[in-house]
Structure 1
Amino acid sequence: MIRDTLLFFRYEMAKTFRNPVWPLFGILQPVLYLLMFAPLTKGLVGGSEVEALRAFTPAALMMIAVFGSLFTGFGLIADLRNGSLERLAVSPAWRPALVLGRVLRDMVTLVVQALLVFAVAALMGLRVGPVELVLMLLLMAATGLFASSLSQGLALAVRDENGMSQTLNLFMLPVMLLAGLFIPIAFAPEWMQTIAPVNPLYHAAEAGRALFAGRLGDSEIPIAFGLFIALAALTTTWSVRSLRRIAG
């Protein structure tokens, strides 16, 4: 089980290293937001650039965790089309390792991207304790695991790039806005504040801001971890079962 997962993980990492441009492009948008959008929010958070970074950097990291991982399923569709996935699925290897190896690759890529974004924020003056940073990376890993597994399951269900792209684009904007990624939801209209807690990403963004503010006792932190661990378990189970149906 572990051997097969690591085998497919190394295989997926080798493909990533052959074309490392796309993972690097994945951090450009959050970094640009960090450099160009965070300073615009200074007036909302007391006029301090450090406070603006403290509020916006967790949102940028969550942006990477969710929307970077959500598009990983497109590679799975390509493997379905050329027949390589079916050949691997009927091999003697443990079938869930096909999904878990990809997800593990996404988690490693996610952590590297997060550290690069945090390094940019640190150069801009942000300071965060080591415990808070580790907890933030763990929360990102749980969030990214959910998003990556959801993407794999959706790819196996839709099997079409256009259909998958339209499905993701339909939900991306409302999910981002209701999570308060750009501007904390406290500054949103009352009706948005009322429905925002329904969005799991809202709790992740609020937990990230609490961690970066040093509020380790904030109730949003265990809520966010609990939500995304449960969601990750559900989506991983779904994607593995979908792969088993393909293999017959």
Structure 2
Amino acid sequence: MRAITTIWYREFLNYIRDKARIISSVVMSVTMLFVFTFALGEFDTSMLGIEQIQYLLPGIIATTAFMTSISNALSVVTDKTDGFMKEFLVSPTKRSNIAVGKILGSATTAVIQGTIILAISPFFGMRYTIGMILGIYIAMIAISVTSSSIGLFLASTAKSAIGFQMQVQMLMMPMMFLSGAYVPIELLPNWIRPVVYINPVTYAVSAFRNISINTTNIPNVVLEKMGLVLKIGDFKVTPVVSISIMLIIGLVFLLLAIRAFKRTSITNKVSLKRGMH
């Protein structure tokens, strides 16, 4: 447990010391909010009693947590190339504890980043109850842990920082744009729906939007059309189901990341270092 806490704290300190990363993430999220508000064009959100910018905000919070957590895994690659990770790998610390510590640290910073966007959302007309905020944080933790697990798996198999960044960009952008965060799922072609349904960010956006927007007295047909209720065939995906799906995906990638960590060999590096002495 001490090893997990130490790794978590190190990730947290690295995050709060990097002001540029914090600011750039917030600026990017707000920029995308305005850009996609204009891109929605004639998409009518008046049936929900909200403006387009308010419709997009829950998705922006979800994707902010997603982007932050999956990108944070770059630290694993830099730790490997700088030799810091070797110190952990040669220690008696279980590699599963290293993985969990990294994931918790990454997820914590993602929740903080999402909280910043959540805190400024009232300036765009969003109003939350205590129950809504609680639900948002549960969903935020779920997508942050899941994305951190995916990022850790990618980082544990990456050979270089550039290779990892290319993998993340190839994966991150389609996952964001096929989640319904910026373009409602109903507007996407049917042939791409299977990809939408295996995307964990889809469930994050659905949960955030369903929790954040008051749906009282709004017909289910409207909620489905507007993306507040996600349906797969005749099955209605509630926020509880969405969060459960995200956590299951996160667990799968956590196990894959731990397996990759256990297969990591440091023998050659250690031998090289001893040879130099």
For this structure pair, what is the TM-score category when the shorter chain's length is used for normalisation? 0.7 to 0.9
- Tell me the TM-score normalized by structure 2: 0.79
- Partner in structure 1 of residue 69 of structure 2: 69
- Tell me the TM-score normalized by structure 1: 0.87
Query: Is the contact made by 1:26 and 1:64 (CA closer than 8 Å) also made in structure 2?
Result: yes
Deviation at 1:211? Answer: 0.9
Encode CA deviations 1:105-161: one digit per residue, 9 max, x unaligned: 222212221121112210121112221222122112111111112111211112222
Q: 259, 265, 268: which is aligned to 1:241?
A: 259
Deviation at 1:94? Answer: 3.6
Deviation at 1:186? Answer: 1.8
User: In the superposition, relative to structure 1, how do residues 50 and 238 fare at CA in structure 2: closer, same or farther (>3 Å)?
Assistant: same
2:158 is aligned with what amino acid? V
- Quote the Cα distance in structure 2 between the aligned partners of 1:30 and 1:58: 11
1:140-219 counterparts in 2 under 5 A? 140-193=140-193, 196-215=196-215, 219=237
User: In the superposition, relative to structure 1, how do residues 73 and 111 fare at CA in structure 2: closer, same or farther (>3 Å)?
Assistant: closer
- Partner in structure 2 of residue 13 of structure 1: 12
Query: Is the contact made by 2:149 and 2:254 (CA closer than 8 Å) also made in structure 1?
Result: yes
Query: Is the contact made by 1:186 and 1:193 (CA closer than 8 Å) also made in structure 2?
Result: no
Deviation at 1:67? Answer: 1.8
Structure with the bigger percentage of helix = 1
Larger Rg: 2
- Partner in structure 1 of residue 97 of structure 2: 97
Deviation at 1:194? Answer: 6.4
Q: Please give the secondary structure, in 2, of the residue aligned with 1:240.
A: helix
2:123 is aligned with what amino acid? L
1:234 is aligned with what amino acid? V
Deviation at 1:169? Answer: 2.2
Alignment coverage as a number of residue pairs: 247
1:211 is aligned with what amino acid? I
2:30 is aligned with what amino acid? V
- Partner in structure 1 of residue 226 of structure 2: none
- Quote the Cα distance in structure 1 between the aligned partners of 2:158 and 2:44: 42
- Quote the Cα distance in structure 2 between the aligned partners of 1:119 and 1:50: 18
Query: Is the contact made by 2:143 and 2:200 (CA closer than 8 Å) also made in structure 1?
Result: no
- Quote the Cα distance in structure 2 between the aligned partners of 1:230 and 1:113: 23
Q: Please give the secondary structure, in 2, of the residue aligned with 1:179.
A: coil
User: In the superposition, relative to structure 1, how do residues 95 and 197 fare at CA in structure 2: closer, same or farther (>3 Å)?
Assistant: closer
1:82 is aligned with what amino acid? D
Deviation at 1:85? Answer: 0.5
User: In the superposition, relative to structure 1, how do residues 69 and 178 fare at CA in structure 2: closer, same or farther (>3 Å)?
Assistant: same
Query: Is the contact made by 1:73 and 1:152 (CA closer than 8 Å) also made in structure 2?
Result: yes
- In the alignment, structure 1 residue 124 sits paired with structure 2 residue 142: no
1:179 is aligned with what amino acid? S
| Structure 2 spans left out of the alignment, 5+ residues | 221-228, 230-236, 267-277
- Partner in structure 1 of residue 85 of structure 2: 85
- Quote the Cα distance in structure 1 between the aligned partners of 2:96 and 2:23: 28
- In the alignment, structure 1 residue 231 sits paired with structure 2 residue 230: no
User: In the superposition, relative to structure 1, how do residues 183 and 100 fare at CA in structure 2: closer, same or farther (>3 Å)?
Assistant: same
Identity rate of aligned residues, in percent? 19
Encode CA deviations 1:197-232: one digit per residue, 9 max, x unaligned: 233322221222111123599633122111111011
